[in-house]
Structure 1
Amino acid sequence: MTSPQYQPKRTSRRRHVWLIVVLAGVLILVSRLLVATDLLHLTHRSASKPAAPAGDSGVTTATAKLHDALSDGSLTDDELHAINVTDLWYASFRTELQKPIVGSTQEEVEPDAHDKNGFAERAVTRERLTFDLRTKAFARERTIHQYSGGALSLVERDRCVGGRSYTSDTVTGKPREPWKPNVLQYNQCTQLPREDAGYISDSIATGGLTAKQADVMVGELRKEDMFLRTRQAKLVTHGTKQYIRFAVEVTPVGDHNDEGSGRFGKAFAKTGLDSGKYPYRYYNYDDEGLRFITYVDPATLLPAYSEFADTPPLDAYTGRQKEMEDGQAWELRVEYSFPGRIEPLNLKDYQDVPMGWAAEPYPPHTGDWNP
């Protein structure tokens, strides 16, 4: 038997319903107050921080500032330093990405090796490729200078003419061979091999993208602030023209410091294009970094000349550079052109592939860099 003092109190049904109604009303009132307060907060926050414009606002701002500075026909150091130079480099990169025809002359020097007699051997390759990203038509020629024992021993020339590959060799001390069909490269003048797509531009850029696709690629690269940094930018003169000389460093990022040059490929993939069919290819190992110097025409925001050097991967735990393995280091210098049409080549001369810019010291592969 339950003690009277512990008998539960009964509440009439009417009073129970009334309490429920009152509580429901209070809850509705409180929720409305909270919603109103949150809306007021959101309105205030939106007013204090407007929505970001479409595309990369930093690139847009840098481009606008540059155009304003060039209104009098030239650029000063003070005007350049008033612009975020990393934004400005990305603005140049974005501009090139949209050019339908991209031409480049690349020079790559293979590391010194030694033959069985101990003589030093080296090869200097110059490849000139002008590629139309819309039609996939191209003009292509190459010169390879082979050195043995420090002396030039052989000059190899390859040239695409009429959809066929021709070659001419000159062995030191012997007469130059006339042009003849190159049966070993019969198909490299009708369709650019996928593995050669890196000769388009400078091994990280390409052309032919729409403005939206260029924004996607640039935006993807910029998701990691530490991935690409402009170490220096200054005005220089080459010949009679003014250029902006950028010193840029690409540093591996990610949880294990393993997202290096491979981020360029991932950023291109975000455009929805197939890199194999487009084609697009970047040099370097995915987990390695880059250091490069590039000269940009401020009037067009297009690059004129660059020099690249790879940097080793970073240790996953300490973030320090690993040792550069033997034969792993590579260096590349590039001259650019952006013609309105592709000029077909012929076999009327035996001229080597020329370069108009003189080489300067490459950025160091490891250690500190003070450009």
Structure 2
Amino acid sequence: MRFFRGGLAMALLGAAVCGCAVTDWAVRQRLGEAAPVATATPAPTAKDAKDAELPADARELYLESLRQQALQPTVHLVHEYYRQKKFYPGGSRSVVVSRFDYGTKAVHLENSQVTVAGGKTWTAWSTWCLDGSEDWFWTREVGWSLRSSSGCPSLPSQAWLNDGLGVGGLTEEQADVFVGKLREWTGLITARGMSVVKRDGKPYVRLEIRVRPVRFGGGRPVGAGLYHDAFKHTELDGIAHPYGLLAGGGSAMDIVRYIDPETRLPVYSETRETGSGAWRMHRVEYEFGRPVGESARPAKPGIARLRWQPEGAVM
């Protein structure tokens, strides 16, 4: 099912929403401390959806947002990744800033391990990846040191170049294949809810999506891993065209995803992963279309802050 461009925007007062993230360290730190919480309004009704040429179906809008994301040539992201529930939100976490151009393969990747203990927050270590070289920063060492000159980004790090589930740089046909396979697997992706929210006076669509493992024949149930299988159906090489999961293949996921009604692209998401007794939380802010560019490496790594507030108990 395909959405007509602008239909959802008509349903949301015809607003043209930017949805751009701020990537400057200083600005992000200021905004991260003062960003308002989004407030919800009632979910669209079936009549609203019909008038907007949009099905009242969060699942379809989620899949369409994945398709629009897959068509983007460049993506800029800010990630927070929590490995233990007791730290979420605001505790010890990985903080990653990534910028990637699928056409030129230009990459910028800042990966930091942030530790919070005893009322103090510091960067335990950080890596800075640009133009094929990777520098490391350790709290107990003075300054940065070159640790690698050819493996940047490493294969495990490639998952940070997108949001750990989606992909970019696809053709229309490839995007249709990727999303079509996800749509085809009955029971994998279901909708939990859809509502319109306003943040800083701008409307967004808040989706609640549930991903649950499905079983094929006598095999083990597969959840998040089916996103990787869907990518394989594009017949692209997941190394040459970087693609990686930030979830276990058998994991279930609960996703909250905010969509720009004009572009149908994501602006913010939270993904809670559960599987084999594990708990993981991945927060992401998105920006699309801007060149990767170059950034001067700071003398000491900062800690990027997301402008969107965490969902907290809602998840």
TM range (shorter): 0.7 to 0.9
Residue segments in structure 1 that go unaligned for 5+ positions in a row: 1-57, 114-121, 172-176, 313-323, 365-371
Residue 204 of structure 1: aligned partner: 165
The alpha-carbon deviation at position 136 of structure 1 amounts to 1.3
Once the two structures are superposed, residues 89-123 of structure 1 have per-residue CA deviations (whole angstroms, 9 ceiling, x without a partner) of 1111100000011121111123289xxxxxxxx74
Cα contact 2:73–2:169 (8 A) shared by 1:
yes
Pair 1:287-2:229 in alignment: no
Cα contact 1:179–1:347 (8 A) shared by 2:
no
Q: 1:163 to 1:221 in 2, by over 3 A?
A: closer
After TM superposition, the score normalised by the length of structure 2 is 0.77
Instruction: For 1:261, give the aligned amino acid.
Output: A
Pair 1:140-2:109 in alignment: yes
Structure 2 counterpart of 1:180, from 144, 147, 150: 144
Residue 294 of structure 2: aligned partner: 344
The alpha-carbon deviation at position 246 of structure 1 amounts to 0.5
Cα contact 1:85–1:230 (8 A) shared by 2:
yes
Structure 2 counterpart of 1:157, from 126, 137, 156: 126
Residue segments in structure 2 that go unaligned for 5+ positions in a row: 18-42
Q: 1:153 to 1:299 in 2, by over 3 A?
A: closer
The alpha-carbon deviation at position 130 of structure 1 amounts to 0.6
Q: 1:147 to 1:193 in 2, by over 3 A?
A: same
- Secondary structure, counterpart of 1:268 in structure 2: helix
Which one scores higher on RCO, CA 8 angstroms, separation ≥ 6? Answer: 2
Pair 1:69-2:11 in alignment: yes
1:218-367, aligned counterparts within 5 Å? Answer: 218-254=179-215, 255-256=217-218, 258-312=221-275, 324-325=276-277, 328-348=278-298, 350=300, 351-361=302-312
Identity %: 25
Structure 2 counterpart of 1:85, from 45, 48, 58: 58
Cα contact 1:167–1:180 (8 A) shared by 2:
yes
Query: What CA distance in whole angstroms lies between the structure 1 residues aligned with 2:199 and 2:287?
Result: 16
Pair 1:108-2:69 in alignment: no
After TM superposition, the score normalised by the length of structure 1 is 0.67
Instruction: For 2:226, give the aligned amino acid.
Output: R
Query: What CA distance in whole angstroms lies between the structure 2 residues aligned with 1:70 and 1:63?
Result: 13
Query: What CA distance in whole angstroms lies between the structure 1 residues aligned with 2:9 and 2:71?
Result: 18
- Secondary structure, counterpart of 1:279 in structure 2: coil
Cα contact 2:224–2:247 (8 A) shared by 1:
yes
Instruction: For 1:334, give the aligned amino acid.
Output: V
Query: What CA distance in whole angstroms lies between the structure 1 residues aligned with 2:171 and 2:74?
Result: 13
Cα contact 1:252–1:288 (8 A) shared by 2:
yes
Rg (Cα) greater in structure: 1
Residue 130 of structure 1: aligned partner: 99
Instruction: For 2:113, give the aligned amino acid.
Output: I
Q: 1:164 to 1:205 in 2, by over 3 A?
A: same
Once the two structures are superposed, residues 119-149 of structure 1 have per-residue CA deviations (whole angstroms, 9 ceiling, x without a partner) of xxx7411011111111211111123222345
Q: 1:128 to 1:362 in 2, by over 3 A?
A: farther
- Secondary structure, counterpart of 1:329 in structure 2: strand
- How many residues are aligned here? 277
Q: 1:186 to 1:235 in 2, by over 3 A?
A: same
Higher percent of residues as helix:
1
Cα contact 2:58–2:208 (8 A) shared by 1:
no
Query: What CA distance in whole angstroms lies between the structure 1 residues aligned with 2:83 and 2:75?
Result: 25
Query: What CA distance in whole angstroms lies between the structure 1 residues aligned with 2:224 and 2:188?
Result: 9
The alpha-carbon deviation at position 216 of structure 1 amounts to 0.6
The alpha-carbon deviation at position 181 of structure 1 amounts to 2.4
Query: What CA distance in whole angstroms lies between the structure 1 residues aligned with 2:240 and 2:133?
Result: 21
The alpha-carbon deviation at position 202 of structure 1 amounts to 1.2
Residue 25 of structure 2: aligned partner: none
